[in-house]
A and B are shown apart, each in its own frame.
Chain A
Amino acid sequence: MISLFTAEGLSGLLFLGFIGLTLAGALIATNARSLIRSVAGLALCFLGIAGFYYYLNSPFVALMQILIYVGGVCVTIIFAVMLAGSSEVNKVSRHNVLVGPLAFLVSGLLVWGLAGLALKTEWHSSIFYVENWGTVANLGQSLLTTYSMSFELISVVLLVAVVGSLVLARQGRDK
């Protein structure tokens, strides 16, 4: 039992906070009645995940998570909600009444299965801790050497996405 009032203790507490943030955010995101609250929940969840990344020793990815997911994706979704003008509370479900419980059941089973798998499996840790482990410099090098092809492809995908969304969004504008 480590003390709460040490650096490790506090960081452990913070980690618990991140777990809470992530799960609460995710639950809000899927269950909130108003869309805009869902997005807010999603943002919380992303912040929590960024915290995990920080604990996983990759602050760069953590910051990118905040920059792209919170500052980019969430903001864009909020903007879309504004455009579609639908923060309106979800209408009464027109799904079959069974869909809700069924979804719960299916996802519950999935979680049970996956978590069970994760906990039961013997993970062969090949941990070899390196001092400059996964720094930005490493990342950059890998991106431009080993993964340069995928890096280029990603940029093409992004370009296509930008052009595509512009085309889609402009439709109906020119009258």
Chain B
Amino acid sequence: MNCAAIKEKLTVIGVEMVSEAEYARKGFALDVQVAPHLLVAAVSVLDAEGFFIEAITGVDWLGEQAALRKEAEAKVAAEAKAQPEAEAAAGEAPPLVSQPAEQGEIPEDALEVVYDFNHYEGLCRVTIRARLPRSKPEIATISSIYPGANWHERETHDFFGIIFVGHPYLVPLLLPEDADFHPLLKDFRS
């Protein structure tokens, strides 16, 4: 069992990005960003390799896009400010700056589902992330591959309202049975 091989295999199925997180710094070895439709394939790879499921959770990135845009704008402004001086100093052509975000429409904020897998033998914690649009947070269930994911997905549904398509029994687990709120969303008010 080795992490590089897993990375290889995950790249083959075409996940968006596989970065090798610095273990000592982060606490996990592989950070995998995956498109929602590729999730099941990626998880199947891990299942075949003998990983066990550690946890599933969500993160609500409400306001992230706005923040990013603000940041980008600030960066542009700062660079615009710095540019003349730099030009004056170096006399070179201005470096290519990333295009500022399109004016007007802000891209939609995302809900991220985070899957943690670990292996009983090798030290290789794999974190899979899938970003879902906040307005339609739907992703395929993996409870058919890992029955243990059943509860984790229910819990994530409780907290974030993420809908796991194909889940056998998606009713509140920790919240009261008739709960219709999702407390860990950033815009939740009790």
A–B direct touch in complex (beta carbons closer than 8 A): no
